[in-house]
Amino acid sequence: MNAGSMKNACWSTLTLVLVLSGCGTNSANGANSANGTNSADECASAAAHVRACTGVAVEPSTTCDRAAAAQLLTLDCAALESAARAPAHARAVHTTLDAIACAAGIVRLCPMPACTAPPYPEVSTTCSDYIDIAGCGGCQFYACREAEHACGASGYYVAYAEKYCVRFLQSLRPRMSAAGQRFLDVARDCLMRYVDDELAPDDACDDVRARAFHSHVACYHDNGFCELPVTDQWLLINTVDPADFDVSAALQTAVSCL
C-alpha cells in the first residue's frame, strides 16, 4: 500500500472507530451495523476479500471483530498479500481472520506477550516512583493510583490507563518505527506526569476519567503524533478497542492534525 492509500485507510479507520464507540457498540458482539449489515456478513465479506487477494482460505474467528473486518475491506491486495506472508503463518494453507488482521497492523487482535515485571507493591515505593521505570513495570503506576483510591474495574486507572500502557509497550511498541517508539515513550511519561501532578488521589472517579482523557489530546499532539509516519498512526489507532475510544479526545486529536 502506498503512503496516500495508507493515509486514507488510517483516517477511514479513525472515523470507523469513532462511529462505533460513539454508538456504544462493542465490535465483537455481532450487533447490526448502521447500514443493516450484521457482523457475520462483514466478516464473511472480509474473509472473501482476503481469499481473493491472497489465495489463503481464511477461517472465521470464534467471535467477529466487526471493526477489524471493515478495516480489512479497506486494504488493497498488496497490503493483504504482505500480511499473508508474515512469518507467523507464511506457510499455512488455512489461517484465521484475526491472524491476517494482526499481520495487517490491527494490533489489538495480536497475542500480547505477558509483562513479567515484579508486581506492585514494593517496599518504600510511592506511585510517582513508577514513572521512571522503563518498560511495562512502570505501568504499575496506575495500579498504585487505584490502590490509593479505587475507581473499580470500569474506572480509568484499571479499564483504560494500565490496560493500554501495557498493551502499547508489549504489543504496539515493537511494531513501530524508531520515531513511533520515541513518541510512545514521551507520551507515556506525559500522561503519567499529568495524573501525578494534576489529579489528587481522592478526586472523584468521574472527574479523574474526564480530566485524564482530556490530557491525551495535548500529550499526543504536543509530542508529535501528527508528524508520525502514517503507518505508525495506523498501528496506534488499531491498538485501541473501538469500544474504549473516548470520542471527544479522539476527535480533538484528529482535528489538531488537520
Which residue from 91, 95, 39, 100 is spatially nearest to 70, judged by alpha carbons?
39
Give the mean pLDDT of 34-40.
53
Q: Answer whether residue 210 shows pLDDT above 90.
A: yes
* Predicted local confidence at residue 244, as pLDDT: 87
| Omega before 121 within 30 of 0, i.e. cis | yes
**% pLDDT > 90, the chain:** 55
- Among 47, 75, 109, which residue terminates a domain? 109
Query: Other CB atoms closer than 10 Å to residue 119's CB: what's the count?
Result: 10
- Among 109, 139, 160, which residue terminates a domain? 109
User: CA 32 to CA 65: how far, in whole Å?
Assistant: 12
* Predicted local confidence at residue 6, as pLDDT: 55
Question: What is the band of 56 on the pLDDT scale with cuts at 50, 70, 90?
Answer: confident
Q: Answer whether residue 225 shows pLDDT above 80.
A: yes
Q: Answer whether residue 258 shows pLDDT above 90.
A: no
* Predicted local confidence at residue 19, as pLDDT: 42
161 and 74, same structural domain? no
**What confidence tens digit (pLDDT) does each residue in 148-160 have?**
999 999 999 999 9
* Predicted local confidence at residue 27, as pLDDT: 41
What is the number of structural domains in the chain? 2
The reported pTM is: 0.82
Among 8-17, 190-199, 216-225, name the one with the lowest average pLDDT: 8-17
137 and 90, same structural domain? no
DSSP string, 21-34: HHTT--TTS----T
Query: Other CB atoms closer than 10 Å to residue 131's CB: what's the count?
Result: 15
* Predicted local confidence at residue 144, as pLDDT: 93
**What confidence tens digit (pLDDT) does each residue in 39-54 have?**
678 889 999 999 999 9
Q: Answer whether residue 247 shows pLDDT above 70.
A: no
User: CA 179 to CA 176: how far, in whole Å?
Assistant: 8
- Asked, for residue 77, whether it belongs to a domain, the answer is yes
Strands (E), the chain: 57-59, 94-96
195 and 95, same structural domain? no
Which residue from 23, 35, 34, 40 is spatially nearest to 97, judged by alpha carbons?
40
142 and 87, same structural domain? no
Q: Vertex 104, ends 21 and 156: CA angle to 5°? A: 35
- Asked, for residue 120, whether it belongs to a domain, the answer is no
Report the largest interatomic distance among the alpha carbons of the chain, rounded to a whole angstrom: 59
166 and 80, same structural domain? no
* Predicted local confidence at residue 96, as pLDDT: 85
Q: Answer whether residue 11 shows pLDDT above 80.
A: no
Q: Which residue has the cell 514521551?
A: 186
**What confidence tens digit (pLDDT) does each residue in 79-125 have?**
999 988 877 554 455 678 888 999 999 999 999 999 998 887 766 57
Per the structure, the complete domain to which residue 148 belongs is given by 127-256
245 and 131, same structural domain? yes
Q: Answer whether residue 178 shows pLDDT above 70.
A: yes
Q: Answer whether residue 13 shows pLDDT above 60.
A: no
* Predicted local confidence at residue 31, as pLDDT: 39
* Predicted local confidence at residue 39, as pLDDT: 63
* Predicted local confidence at residue 91, as pLDDT: 45
* Predicted local confidence at residue 23, as pLDDT: 39
- Among 109, 143, 167, which residue terminates a domain? 109
Question: What is the band of 38 on the pLDDT scale with cuts at 50, 70, 90?
Answer: low
Q: Vertex 183, ends 179 and 184: CA angle to 5°? A: 120
